[in-house]
Structure formats: C-alpha cells, structure tokens
C-alpha cells in the first residue's frame, strides 16, 4: 500500500485559467507529505517533472526534465524556461517484494508511476516480485497513439501493443494510480471500478490554483470543511472531491495563443467485458416464479469457495516485511488482523483466516467500544472469539479491546474529520472515528493461560503489529444487510429491493470505501475488502435474489441468508443466527456541541464530543450480557436501556445510577451449568464467597470472623481454575488472577509491587460491597518450601503473608478479600501458608468419577451432533483417569475425526454426526494425562483368548469384576472388596494373560510393573516409582496394578546382607505400606504372578494384602484342546488335523508351548511350500516331535509340596482361598489342590466368613440377574 499524490502547477485544464505563480495555497507540500507518510511509514519519495516549450510558433515541442527530491537546482538545464511542473509523491507501506522500494518509480523511458494498490490477478506477478514494478513494465510497453483505443489497432507501430486503459482493465484487485507517459506527454490517473482505494481530486480554483490528486487530505484541509451536516448532501463547493471510479487522461499540449501548457481531461471506458457487467450490477434473476424458492446450500458452497480464494489472495505473505514480531519475540507473528465486531461478516472473515493463514501466525481481532465492556459490540465480540476458539482451538486468537476515551477522541476529532472529508455527516464522523480507533490497534488484551479455552482476567496493554486489516465492507450492500433494504422490500417487493441494492453498489465508492480506506490506512495498515473481490461479486450477482436474502423472515434469518449458510458451513452455528452486527451499529452516538468553538486560521470549527448510550442489542448478545452479569432483567421487553456515564458494570443493569432488582435465585446462572463434578470444592468455594455478604449481620452479632483463604489441590486438568471462575461468576464477584509468570520480574521490588497493587484493587472492590476474590494459580511456584527458596521467593512469600493477614483485618462488614490458591504439588507449598488464618481449608480436586465424567461429557457435547450409537454413559465408564481437560480434548479429537471422515466421504457437512467409531478413534489419540510417564493401558485381551481354566476365570471375575461393576451390592452388605490376588503356577500357564483379560473385562486401567523397572542403581528410585504408580492408579481408578515375577519384587526378607537384598527389602516395605493404604482407595486391586511362590515374603500372604491365592495349573487334555482351538482359529488348517488327538499327544505342554507349536507348524508349512494354502497334520507332528515340554512331573509335584509343606496348611480351609483346577480327566490324574488359609486372629476370620457369605448370596442372586458370573 502507498499514499500517492500529484501536484500540477502551470497547466490549464479545461476552462480553468490558473496563474502559474499563484500565491494563495491552502496547504503546503510538506503538510501533504506528512499526511501521506502516516499511510506509508516505510519510505517517502518524490519526483518533479519540469516542462519547457521549445521550437517555432508553428511547431511547438514540449520538453520535460525529471528531478529527484534532493538533487538541487544546479542540475537543471540553464537554457530552459520552465512553464509548468508536476510533483509526484509516494509514501510506501511495503507489502510485496523481498527488498524495499521507493515510490514514485521511473523507468528507462522516463515514465513515472505512483501506484497505490494490489494486483491479485489479471497481470502475472511472481511471488517475490513487487507488483508496482511489474505494472510499470507493462505500462511502459503501451502504445502512445490516440487511435489505438478507438479502433483496436495501432497506426504507428507494427507491434501488437496494448493501451493504458486495456492494461489497467486487466487488474484484479484494488488500485489507485497516477502515471506519466513520457512518449505521449499524457498524464493518466484513476481508481479501480469499485473505488476500493481512495483518490481525492482538487480542481483548480481561486482558493488554490493547483490541480491536485491525493490519497488523503492534509489535516489543514479541515479548515475548508463546513459544519457537520445532519443529513447527507453538499452545503457548498468542497475543496476535495472523491474521484469517480474510472480511468482518466490529460494530454499535455502547448497553447498556440499564449504559449502556456493546456490539457483536456478525458474519461476512458473499461475494456474488460466482465468488469463492465459487474459495474452495471444488473441481476438476471430478481423475482421468484412459482416454487422457485429452493435450498441455498449449493450456492453457499460456491460463495464459500470464492470467499476463501479472496481471503487467500489477500493474506498470502509475499514479503518479509509482513513477518512482524511483537515484543521482539519471533515466535509471535501477527501479519493479519480483522476489524472485528463479532457479527456475521467479521466472523466469516476470521474463520476463513483459519483456513488460509499458516498455523504459526496469530490473528488479532480489533474491537472498538465507546462504552467499555457494556457495549453490544464488545459483548458480541467476546461471544465470537469463544466460537472461533471452539472451531479452531490450535490457532491463537487475540481479542484486542480498544476502549475509546472521550477526551482522546475530542483531541483527535480534527484529524478524523480531515480523514472522512469530503464526507461531512454525523454518521460519517461516527463511523470514521470507530474505524480510525480500531485500526490503530492500540488496546488491551487478556493474557492467555496455557489452556487456550480459558481467558485470563489480567489485562495488559498491546498494540497490534499487523500490516493488513480485513474489513467486511460490501457484505451488507450485496446481501441485503441494511434495515432500509427490508423497508424497500416491504414497499416495492423484489424489484424495489434489487434497485436499492444496485444503488448501494453503484455509490459504495463515494459513500463508504474512500472514507474507510483513509481512516484505516492512516494508521499504517492496509485495508482489504474480501467481500468486494471481483470473483465474489460475480458469484453473488449470478445467484437469484431470493437465495441471497429472504426479508419475509425475521432478522437474523432472512437478511444475508446466503452468508448465514456460509457461516454454517464454516461451523459458526452461533454467528449464523446473529442479527446484523456492524461496527457502526454497535452503539448509538448522541452528538452534542462542546462548550467552546475552536478558532483555526480565522475559520470556526465546531468540535463535537460523542456521548454514548446503548442501543437495543440483539437477543444473542443480550443473553451473553445476562450471563456475564449473572442477573436477568426483570423487564425483558424493554427495547433500549440508557446507561449513565461512568456507570457501566458487570454487577447488574444500571439506570439513573440505581441497580434494578434481580430475579430470584432459581433463575440465576449457576456454576453447575459450566462445570461438572467437584461438588465438595464447589460448595466450599460458594460458601466462602457468598456467606460473608449474605450473613454479615449474623457474623457481626456473633463476633465471627469468616475464613479468608482456600487451597485447592489436585492433578493438572481437573478444573481448579474453571471451578473458581464459575463460582465467582455465579456469585457476581470481582476476580483478580495472579500467576507466577505475571508476578516474577527482573528488578527487585517490582514483584512485590504487583502483589500489593492486586490486593489493593481487590480491597477497594470489597469495600464497595461487592465480593472480591484473588486467585493465585500455581502457588507452589510463587511460595515454595523454605528449603528450596531463592532470595526473590523469600521476599514474595513475606509480602504475601503480610497482605493475606492484613486483608482479614478489615473493619467494614463483608469487605473481606477472599484468597483462593491452586496447586498440583501441595507438599511443595510453604507450610506457613497452610495454617489457619491464611488458607483455613484445603480441598482436593481429584479426578472425576464415572458419574462426574458423564456430567462433563454432557457439557462438552451439548452442541455436538451425536449419532444414536453414542452412549455417553458407556463412554464415561471407559474413560478411567480422564480429567476435565482430557475429556475436552477427547471431544475435540472426536469432532476432528468426524470432519476428516466426512471430507473423505464427500458427504454433506450439515448432516455430520459423531459416531461411536469417531470416539474410539479419539480415545486412541487422547489418553489420561495423569498416567503419562507410566505404563498404563486397558488390555485388549478377552476371556475367549484363553483356553481352559473355566473355574479359575469365574473366580477372577468374582474377585475383580464384581467390585468394579457392582459396587452398590458390596456397599449394601457393608463388605469391602478383595485387595490383592496372587496367581502362582508353572511358567507359561497364562498367568499374565489372565491378568490382562480380567483388566479388559472390568474396563480398568492396567498398570504393569516388573523387577527390571523397579531395580535401579540409584538409591530410592525404585521405591519412588512404586509410590508414584500407586498414586496414579488411585487417580485412574478403577485400576489394576500387575506385578509380573512378584517373587523378585516381594522376595523373602532375611538371609545374608547385600546391596541387592537391601534394595529388595526396601521395595517390599514400600509395597506393604502402599497395599495397607489401599483401604481408602476404592476400585484398585493388586494382581501378582509368580512361578516361585515359596520365595514370596509371608507378610504378603495374609488377608488384607493378598486375600486370594489362585493356583494356575498346567492345562489338562480338555484345556489343551481349547488352547489349540484358540491359536488355530485364524489359521488355515487341513481336514486331516485332529486337534483333540494332538491335545492328547502334548502331555505336560503349557499354553505358551502350545502357542509356539501352532506357530512353528505354520512356518514348517511355508518352508515346505511358500504357496501353501493350509497347514496339514504332518506339519504339526513334525513340530511336536521336535519340541519337548519344559515342565516335568517333578516340578509339578514341587508346587503340590509347597502347598502341603506350608505351615499355613494347619488351619482350616476357606472357600475364599481355594481354587480347583479344571475337572477334566487328565491322563496324569492330577489332584485338585486347595490353598490353605494362614493363621489369623478371630476378627480377621470372622471378616472372611462374612465375605464368603456375601459372595454366596451374590452368586445365587446372579442366577436371576443376567450379566453376572455364577459360582
């Protein structure tokens, strides 16, 4: 973008008779340069073209000479008598090319170009090239004869040369141009067909004899502006005029009468046929005939495609100048901003930016408000950014809140009036001020937390570095978005509506675009209008009018109907139903004359101050206003509401300085609408904030001092911050957030000052009668334990102690500041903070239960289209260990999976549903964050994958599945579930597989530990891993912790002292402690497997630790047959294979060996013939003969001897601790062993008897209840 200007002196245009040496000038060249430099801050250049007339009176020749600014007069030809000059000026905002450029350009033929525009098509421009330089090459090759344009061929040159109008007609994109063609001594100037770039013209007058062209008027031009008019219209001849769209030329000749330069202005037509159609803007299909009203979904896709390409062209980064960083940080790139009101047009542009702009770039959303947070534009903008974050969570959206200060607006009023000139109505001043302030980009932003969906309430100053600003101009004109369109439709029908829309498009250059371009570009940013792209205009013009808008429907549905469908395609469901929300209509402006009248150069100018009051806001924005305030209006029927100056507040609705009464508590917004679970913490926080206000009188009578602090602790992502925000919002309290990164500063004393200011502000709010909460996030970082502090931490902790103590000593009832803190490392917090009087209470915010997960999923899927196959209760049950943040990520990933599937299937996005498969895909990507770093899974091994062992499977189902799936039954009988199960038996008998199968059947988290993981060269590391695993298992409950080769971890104590033994004893002690602690953790079971039960320490083999000992014997004939069937079900076996006979021949084979036999048989078949289609009996026999069982009868008998020789066998048996092997008739006629009960106290024995009785009752009851295994 550039600011361009031309000053012509000494040339008589038309009938004007200016004197070349006229002394009366309205403004100087330096003033004009200063105005242009604001548009083009990167460079400023100037070229002067001087004219001399030579030759005889019969044949006069015009000579020209170019002087660059700063060359000086010494280089001018001394023999020339200069009769006129042209002064070209260009100020550049570099947006194209990889190297800086300086305008105006001069080529080798001495042609001069000052160009303000962008070439998006029509003329090929390489990615790294500057489009103005390319355009000069094309213009330099144009023919200079006059007959070329009229006849279509050149009478001078034999080459096929284009004319200047032909080249300019090809350009797709906005432009304004000033071009000197030296060969024909012709000055060309003009604007594109829609006037998307400003170009003002001043014709020579007595006031100023110069002929002037300029992108903007100097500030001193405001002296020529008459008083602001109440209606559009001209009160007198204006100094500047908007140059009408088109291409103009002035051929410079020498007058035969007086030897002066003269020129006739000529307007040229457009040679591009499509452009001519767009300029005429005559729609073919205006009135619907019969049942021609159809769905607009197909048309909306065409419009969406055209808009996306338009935004893509306007945001493609062709230069390093757009890679602007903020605060010197290269990772924050903000090349593009959107003029953002949260309305339909700006939301569409922002959503398209997400698709067109590289993900590394951030997007600034510039929102201006004349009434702070109460303004409808601000409310709708906050609604909009929330929706954008939902559809594009990976993009960083930054809402820049620009609050207009009346005093600063008054100071800049003169400058803004010069920008809107020659427009001079109240509405123009209103809109121009809003645009100018918004494009300035200097406002406030909320500092983001790590979670992009949570917006911190700490504001800090910020100025957007973006050089490109997308504006939604043109959408209302083309899609019937104005209120007058509805009036025209009501009075004149479809034809009347079409004529009004056509009139809007024909005069948009004069009424809107020149003013908008000047007000926005004055801040060194280029305004780009995607809705006014040539292709977009063509697409919209080809669509029947009744599909563009249906003004018979209410506002928010029929107006701009086609764009609302586009918004739905982009996922903007809320924005698609918003009534019109343009920047100029977000508020009403009541202009009143200021007390004084400014005097400037003898010309009186009235200075107007804008007094703001609310306009009736849209229903959607009104609902959001009610949510922000937490109070609904008593009278919802009021169409407008006056807000007294300075009285805007989130605490309620104010009128004449008094708050209206709120409705009863039953209709107020509740925190449960935004969060799920955590009832204990929610109620405690609600009482902590509200009770001091509700019961201040009772507390004063009783002399009660309310608690002033609450510490929330728990794993990350459990919703501690969201909980505080929700309760604060419900209680209508003031919230101040303090985080470590916002407090820690480099200079001494600066951090303490931030703390003091935060408490001071909160205290002032509390004294006004409004609850005030200070929330300290990650307090373990701010105030760590004293043994790990730095000097700065000591100062901060001392300051925090002082502030917390002083905040409780307020003499005003109910004026107490409540301090709430959160941490995920409660043991790392300074103990001095955890005493009464500071943090009086500590509440754990732990992982949600199954019911709480269901509530959270209901909240997150409230607006998601779910397929009937999706059962949220089942999904919640399968998400063990997921916290709120994980469930949100799960919903986001499921949506992404559905969109990906939909795009691959080319299905209609409006019918998009999230299926069960999408959630399964999401679960494979998103796991519980609290279990990261530990081996955890829900195994995919089922009972069908294990052959035989039917009785053992039933025992495991009763011991593991029942407590998890039927906890109510255990609670009803008052019994606690089994804490541990020990599986022992020979190697290869499916002990580990059994553990995985029972975890899968119970849908429990499965933690697996082995001796290799626990034994470490560092002292204490194994014990720490063990404790950490148990801690995470408690958080991910229901869960199973499986110890493979348990004899390594829990070996017997005693014997010779060595380092290995000491490590084992430490691990055993830790394991015993953790298992004893399981009584408080429901839904956790320890499962262990060993093939050396005699090596297990006796302390584990007692009730309360391993309550159930199960012997896993080698498979008998029937079990071996079932195992062979399991491992051959996916194999192609020949008919000659007899699995039962093979089972008889594999005596003493374990399950692992039988699996290896089947696998090796298949390999033998392939070795024999790589093209083999089946495995035959000979292959199995060959492998069987080569394999020998690892087990011997002696080893099996040793397990029996362990059971017999155990001193525990002297006591009576208990069905609870026995498990028989399968009762098949094994050829070895093995005995069914029973595990003896260890000697315990009478109380323990009684507890076991009750447990057995309960299991017996459940077993009998299960015969009538399908789904539960029977004993």
Helices 297-315 and 344-356 pack at an angle, to 10 degrees, of 60
Q: What's the rounded mean pLDDT across residues 1011-1034?
A: 77
Q: Is 991 within 8 Å of 1112 (Cβ atoms)?
A: yes
CATH code, domain carrying 892: 1.10.8.60
Which residue spans within 708-816 are E strands per DSSP?
709-713, 734-738, 772-776
Q: Which CA distances in Å does 579 have to 126, 315, 476, 529, 622?
A: 42, 28, 12, 21, 12
In 1131-1246, DSSP assigns E strands to none
540-563 residue pLDDT tens = 999 999 899 988 887 777 889 999
Whether 1222 has a pLDDT exceeding 50, the answer reads no
Query: What does the pLDDT read at residue 1202?
Result: 66
In a domain, 650, yes or no: no
CB 573 within 8 A of CB 586: no
pLDDT at 164 (0 to 100): 92
Angle at 410 between CA 407 and CA 411, to 5 degrees: 90
pTM strictly above 0.85: no
- Give the count of beta carbons closer than 10 Å to the beta carbon of residue 338: 28
Query: Which of the listed ranges 42-46, 97-101, 642-646 does the model predict with the highest average pLDDT?
Result: 42-46
Closest Cα partner for 387 from 557, 571, 623? 571
pLDDT at 139: 92
pLDDT in tens, 1032-1065: 888 777 888 888 888 877 777 765 544 445 677 7
pLDDT digits (tens, 9 = 90+) for 64-95: 888 887 655 445 666 667 788 999 999 998 88
Tell me the C-alpha distance between 539 and 326, whole Å: 38
Decide if 733 contacts 762 (C-beta within 8 A).
no
Tell me which of 1022 and 178 has the higher pLDDT: 178
Cβ-contact 1038, 970 below 8 angstroms? no
- Radius of gyration, alpha carbons of the chain: 41
Q: Are residues 432 and 304 in the same domain?
A: yes
Q: Which residues pair with 654 in a beta bridge?
A: 659
**Over residues 1192-1208, mean pLDDT:** 68
Q: Lowest mean pLDDT: which of 627-636, 886-895, 1011-1020?
A: 627-636
pLDDT at 1250: 43
pLDDT at 658 over 50: no
pLDDT at 304 over 70: yes
Report the pLDDT value the prediction gives residue 1234, as an integer from 0 to 100: 37
C-alpha distance from residue 185 to each of 14, 65, 240, 273, 1092 (Å): 17, 12, 26, 28, 106
Predicted confidence (pLDDT) per residue in 766-794, tens digit: 777 678 889 998 888 888 887 666 767 77
Average pLDDT across the chain, whole number: 76
**How, if at all, do strands 2-9 and 397-403 pair?**
unpaired
- Mode of pairing for the β-strands spanning 43-55 and 60-68: antiparallel
The answer as to whether 1254 is a domain residue is no
- pLDDT bin (cut points 50, 70, 90) of residue 247 is very high
Mean pLDDT across 1080-1103: 79
- pLDDT surpasses 60 at 460: yes
User: What are 485-524's pLDDT values in tens digits?
Assistant: 888 888 888 899 999 999 999 999 888 899 999 999 999 8
897 and 771 together in one domain: no
**Within-domain flag for 123:** yes
Number of domains making up the chain = 6
> Is residue 599's pLDDT more than 70?
no
Whether residue 131 has pLDDT greater than 70: yes
Banded model confidence at residue 344, pLDDT cuts 50, 70, 90: very high
**pLDDT confidence bin for 626, thresholds 50/70/90:** very low
CB 20, CB 86: distance < 8 Å: no
| pLDDT score for 245 | 94
Tens digits of per-residue pLDDT, 932-972?
655 555 567 888 888 888 888 888 888 888 887 787 788 78
User: What per-residue confidence (pLDDT) applies to 563?
Assistant: 93
The predicted structure's pLDDT at residue 905: 63
Between residues 598 and 832, which one has the greater pLDDT?
Answer: 832
Q: Measured between alpha carbons, how far is residue 425 from residues 234, 422, 428 in Å?
A: 10, 10, 5
The SS3 of residue 291 is coil
Within 10 angstroms of residue 358's Cβ, the number of other Cβ atoms is: 9
Instruction: Flag whether 636 is in a domain.
Output: no
pLDDT in tens, 393-451: 889 899 999 988 766 677 778 888 888 888 878 788 888 888 999 999 888 887 654 44
> Does residue 1221 form part of some domain?
no
Same domain, 755 and 866: no
pLDDT at 679: 82
Q: Examine the pLDDT at 1187 and tell me if it is beyond 80.
A: yes
Least confident of 9-13, 370-374, 955-959: 370-374
Lookup: tokens for 247: 């291409």
Contact between 571 and 351 under an 8 Å Cβ cutoff? The reply is: yes
Which of 309 and 328 is assigned the larger pLDDT? 309
Looking at residue 318, its pLDDT comes to 53
CA 659 from chain centre, in angstroms, equals 36
- The predicted structure's pLDDT at residue 590: 34
> In the numeric block, which tokens belong to residue 660?
């209206």
Residue 32's domain is classified under what CATH number?
3.60.20.10
List Cβ<8 Å contacts ≥24 apart for 285-290.
Answer: 285/543, 285/544, 285/545, 285/546, 286/494, 286/495, 286/498, 286/544, 286/545, 287/493, 287/494, 287/495, 287/545, 287/546, 288/494, 288/544, 288/546
With the CA atoms of 1174, 1178, 1182 and 1185 taken in that order, what torsion angle do they form, in degrees rounded to the nearest 10? 130
Question: CATH code at 840?
Answer: 3.40.50.300
Are residues 1125 and 1185 located together in one domain of the fold?
yes
- Whether 584 is covered by a domain: the verdict is no
Give the pair of three-digit tokens for residue 351. Answer: 């959503």
Going by pLDDT thresholds of 50, 70 and 90, the confidence category of residue 20 is very low
For the chain, percent of residues with pLDDT exceeding 90: 17
Same domain, 63 and 199: yes
Per-residue pLDDT tens over the stretch 1226-1269: 433 333 333 333 433 433 444 444 454 454 444 444 443 333 33
What lies within 8 Å, CB to CB, of 1194 at 6+ separation is none
pLDDT at 146: 59
Is the previous residue joined to 422 through a cis bond, with omega within 30 degrees of 0? yes
Q: Residue 651 has what pLDDT?
A: 32
* Structural domain includes residue 498: yes
Domain boundary among 844, 870, 888: 844
Contacts of 1161 (CB under 8 A, 6+ apart): 1175, 1179, 1180, 1182, 1183
**Do 834 and 854 lie in a common domain?**
no
The pair of three-digit structure tokens given for residue 38, joined into one six-digit string: 């604001």
690 Rama class: left (phi>0) / alpha (psi -120 to 50) / beta: alpha
Q: Long-range contacts made by residues 887-892, C-beta under 8 angstroms, separation at least 24?
A: 887/853, 887/856, 887/857, 887/860, 888/453, 888/860, 889/926, 890/919, 890/922, 890/923, 890/926, 891/857, 891/860, 891/861, 891/864, 891/922, 892/393
- What pLDDT does 1003 receive? 75
- Check which CATH number belongs to the domain holding 547 and give it: 3.40.50.620
Domain shared by 1026 and 1075, yes or no: yes
For the segment 666-689, the average pLDDT, to the nearest whole number, is: 77
Residue 1225 predicted with pLDDT over 80: no
Between CA 1109 and CA 1096 the distance in angstroms is 12
Say whether both 827 and 859 belong to one domain: no
Bigger pLDDT: 734 or 457?
Answer: 734
Strand-pair category, 211-214 with 241-242: unpaired
Q: Could you tell me the residue range of the domain that residue 1169 belongs to?
A: 1118-1190
Return phi, psi of residue 1089, to 5°.
Answer: -135, 140
Dihedrals phi, psi of 603, to nearest 5 degrees: -110, 125
What pLDDT sits at residue 222?
A: 62
Tell me, what's the pLDDT at 188? 95
Alpha carbon distances (Å) from 680 to 710, 724, 876, 1190: 12, 13, 21, 57
Q: What's the pLDDT score for residue 533?
A: 94
Question: Does 508 fall in a domain?
Answer: yes
Q: Give the residue from 1099, 1146, 1097 showing the smallest Cα distance to 1123.
A: 1146
Confidence of residue 1017 (pLDDT cuts 50, 70, 90): low
Cβ atoms of residues 1103 and 1240 within 8 Å: yes
Domain match, 1046 and 1104 both? yes
pLDDT at 1211 over 60: no
Q: Which of 358-372, 653-667, 956-970, 1182-1196 is least confident?
A: 653-667
Percent of the chain with pLDDT over 70: 75
Are 1150 and 1102 members of one domain? no
The pLDDT confidence band at residue 538, using thresholds 50, 70 and 90, is: very high
DSSP letter assigned to residue 1236: P
Pick from 190-194, 352-356, 1091-1095, 1201-1205: least confident: 1201-1205
Per mean pLDDT, which range of 248-262, 987-1001, 1150-1164 is the poorest?
248-262
pLDDT in tens, 1099-1145: 777 777 788 888 888 888 888 888 888 888 888 888 888 888 888 88
Q: Which residues fall within 8 angstroms of residue 1123, CB to CB, at 6 or more apart?
A: 947, 948, 1115, 1151, 1154, 1155
Q: 855 with 819, same domain?
A: no
Are 543 and 404 within one domain? yes
């Amino acid at each position: 973008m550039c600011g361009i200007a031309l000053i012509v002196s000494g040339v008589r245009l038309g009938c004007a008779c200016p004197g070349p040496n006229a002394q009366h000038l309205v403004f100087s060249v330096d003033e004009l340069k200063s105005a242009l430099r604001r548009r083009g801050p990167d460079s400023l250049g100037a070229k002067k073209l001087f004219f001399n007339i030579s030759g005889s009176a019969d044949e006069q020749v015009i000579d020209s000479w170019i002087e660059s600014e700063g060359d000086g007069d010494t280089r001018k030809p001394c023999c020339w008598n200069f009769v006129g000059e042209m002064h070209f000026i260009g100020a550049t905002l570099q947006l194209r090319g990889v190297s800086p450029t300086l305008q105006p350009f001069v080529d080798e033929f001495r042609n001069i170009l000052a160009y303000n525009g962008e070439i998006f098509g029509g003329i090929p421009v390489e990615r790294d090239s500057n489009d103005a330089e390319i355009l000069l090459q094309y213009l330099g090759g144009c023919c200079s004869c006059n007959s070329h344009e009229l006849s279509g061929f050149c009478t001078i040159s034999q080459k096929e040369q284009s004319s200047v109008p032909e080249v300019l007609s090809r350009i797709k994109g906005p432009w304004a141009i000033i071009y000197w063609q030296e060969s024909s001594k012709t000055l060309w100037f003009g604007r594109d067909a829609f006037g998307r770039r400003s170009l003002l013209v001043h014709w020579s007058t007595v006031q100023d004899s110069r002929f002037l062209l300029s992108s903007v008027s100097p500030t001193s031009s405001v002296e020529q502006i008459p008083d602001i008019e109440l209606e559009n219209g001209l009160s007198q001849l204006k100094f500047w005029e908007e140059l009408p769209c088109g291409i103009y030329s002035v051929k410079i000749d020498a007058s035969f009468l007086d030897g002066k330069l003269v020129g006739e202005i000529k307007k040229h037509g457009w040679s591009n046929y499509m452009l001519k159609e767009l300029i005429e803007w005559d729609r073919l299909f205006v009135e619907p005939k019969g049942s021609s009203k159809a769905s607009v979904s197909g048309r909306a896709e065409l419009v969406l495609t055209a808009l996306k390409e338009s935004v893509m062209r306007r945001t493609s980064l062709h230069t390093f100048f757009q890679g602007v960083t903020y605060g010197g940080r290269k990772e924050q790139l903000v090349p593009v901003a959107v003029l953002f009101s949260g309305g339909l047009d700006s939301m569409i542009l922002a959503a398209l930016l997400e698709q067109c702009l590289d993900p590394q770039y951030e997007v600034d959303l510039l929102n201006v408000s004349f009434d702070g947070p109460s303004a409808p534009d601000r409310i709708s903008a906050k609604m909009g950014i929330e929706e954008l974050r939902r559809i594009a969570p990976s993009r960083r959206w930054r809402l820049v809140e620009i609050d207009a200060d009346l005093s600063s607006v008054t100071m800049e009023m003169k400058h803004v009036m010069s920008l809107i000139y020659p427009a001079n109505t109240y509405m123009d001043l209103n809109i121009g001020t809003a645009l100018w302030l918004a494009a300035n980009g200097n406002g406030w932003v909320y500092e983001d937390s790590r979670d992009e969906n949570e917006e911190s309430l700490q504001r800090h100053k910020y100025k957007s570095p973006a050089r490109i600003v997308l504006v939604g101009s043109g959408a209302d004109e083309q899609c019937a978005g104005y209120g007058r369109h509805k009036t025209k439709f009501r009075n004149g029908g479809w034809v009347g509506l079409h004529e009004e829309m056509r009139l809007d498009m024909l005069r948009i250059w004069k009424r809107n675009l020149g003013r908008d371009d000047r007000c926005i570009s004055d801040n060194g940013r280029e305004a780009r209008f995607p809705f006014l792209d040539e292709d977009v205009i063509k697409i919209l013009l080809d669509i029947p009018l009744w599909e563009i808008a249906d003004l018979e429907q209410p506002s928010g549905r029929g107006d701009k109907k086609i764009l609302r469908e586009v918004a739905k395609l982009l996922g903007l469901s809320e924005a698609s139903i918003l009534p019109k929300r343009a920047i100029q209509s977000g508020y009403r402006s009541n202009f009143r004359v200021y007390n004084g009248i400014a005097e400037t150069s003898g010309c009186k100018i009235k200075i107007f101050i804008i007094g703001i009051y609310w306009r009736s806001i849209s229903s959607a924005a009104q609902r959001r206003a009610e949510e922000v305030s937490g109070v609904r209006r008593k009278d919802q029927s009021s169409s407008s509401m006056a807000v007294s100056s300075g009285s805007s507040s989130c605490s309620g609705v104010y009128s004449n300085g008094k708050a209206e009464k709120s409705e009863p508590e039953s209709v107020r917004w509740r925190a449960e609408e935004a969060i799920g679970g955590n009832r204990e913490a929610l109620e405690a926080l609600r009482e902590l904030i509200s009770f001091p206000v509700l019961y201040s009188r009772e507390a004063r009578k009783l002399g009660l001092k309310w608690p002033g602090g609450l510490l929330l602790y728990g794993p990350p992502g459990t919703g501690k911050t969201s909980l505080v925000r929700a309760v604060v919002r419900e209680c209508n309290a003031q919230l101040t957030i303090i985080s470590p990164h916002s407090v820690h500063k480099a200079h001494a004393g600066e951090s303490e000052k931030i703390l003091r200011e935060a408490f001071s502000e909160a205290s002032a709010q509390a004294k006004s009668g409004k609850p005030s909460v200070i929330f300290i996030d990650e307090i373990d970082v701010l105030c760590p334990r004293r043994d790990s502090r730095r000097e700065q931490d000591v100062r901060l902790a001392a300051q925090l102690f002082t502030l917390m103590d002083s905040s409780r000593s307020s003499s005003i009832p109910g004026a107490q500041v409540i301090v709430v803190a959160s941490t995920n490392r409660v043991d790392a917090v300074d103990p001095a903070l955890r005493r009464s009087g500071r943090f009086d209470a500590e509440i754990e915010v732990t992982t949600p239960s199954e019911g709480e997960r269901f509530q959270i999923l209901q909240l997150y899927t409230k607006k998601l289209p779910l397929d009937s196959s999706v059962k949220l209760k089942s999904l919640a049950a399968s998400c063990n260990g997921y916290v709120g943040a994980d469930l949100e990520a799960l919903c986001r990933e499921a949506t992404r999976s559905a969109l990906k599937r939909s795009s691959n299937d080319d299905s209609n996005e409006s019918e998009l549903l999230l299926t069960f498969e999408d959630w399964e895909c999401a679960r494979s990507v998103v796991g519980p964050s609290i279990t990261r770093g530990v081996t955890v899974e829900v195994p995919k091994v089922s009972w069908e994958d294990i052959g035989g062992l039917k009785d053992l499977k039933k025992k495991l189902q009763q011991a593991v599945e029942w407590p998890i799936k039927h906890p109510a039954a255990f609670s009803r009988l008052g019994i606690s579930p089994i804490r541990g199960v020990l599986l022992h038996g020979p190697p290869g008998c499916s002990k580990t597989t059994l553990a995985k199968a029972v975890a899968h059947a119970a849908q429990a988290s499965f933690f697996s530990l082995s001796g290799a993981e626990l034994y470490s060269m560092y002292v204490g590391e194994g014990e720490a891993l063990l404790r950490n695993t148990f801690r995470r298992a408690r958080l991910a409950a229901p869960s199973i912790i499986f110890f493979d080769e348990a004899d390594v971890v829990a070996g017997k104590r005693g014997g010779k002292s060595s380092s290995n033994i000491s490590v084992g004893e430490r691990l055993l002690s830790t394991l015993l402690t953790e298992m004893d602690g399981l009584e408080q953790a429901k839904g956790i079971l320890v499962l262990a497997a060993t093939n050396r039960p005699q090596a297990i320490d006796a302390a584990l083999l007692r009730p309360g630790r391993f309550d159930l000992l199960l012997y896993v014997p080698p498979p008998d004939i029937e079990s071996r047959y079932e195992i062979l069937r399991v491992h051959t079900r996916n194999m192609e076996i020949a008919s000659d294979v007899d699995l039962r006979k093979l089972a008889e021949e594999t005596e003493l084979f374990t399950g692992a060996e039988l699996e290896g036999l089947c696998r090796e048989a298949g390999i033998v078949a392939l070795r024999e013939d790589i093209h083999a289609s089946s495995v035959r009996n000979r292959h199995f026999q060959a492998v069987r003969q080569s394999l020998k069982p690892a087990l011997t009868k002696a080893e099996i008998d040793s397990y029996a001897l362990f059971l017999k020789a155990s001193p525990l066998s002297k006591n009576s048996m208990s069905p609870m601790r026995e498990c028989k092997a399968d009762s098949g008739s094994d050829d070895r006629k093995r005995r069914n062993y029973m595990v003896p009960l260890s000697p315990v106290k009478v109380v323990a024995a009684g507890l076991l008897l009750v447990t057995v009785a309960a299991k017996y009752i459940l077993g009998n009851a299960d015969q009538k209840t399908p789904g539960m295994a029977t004993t």
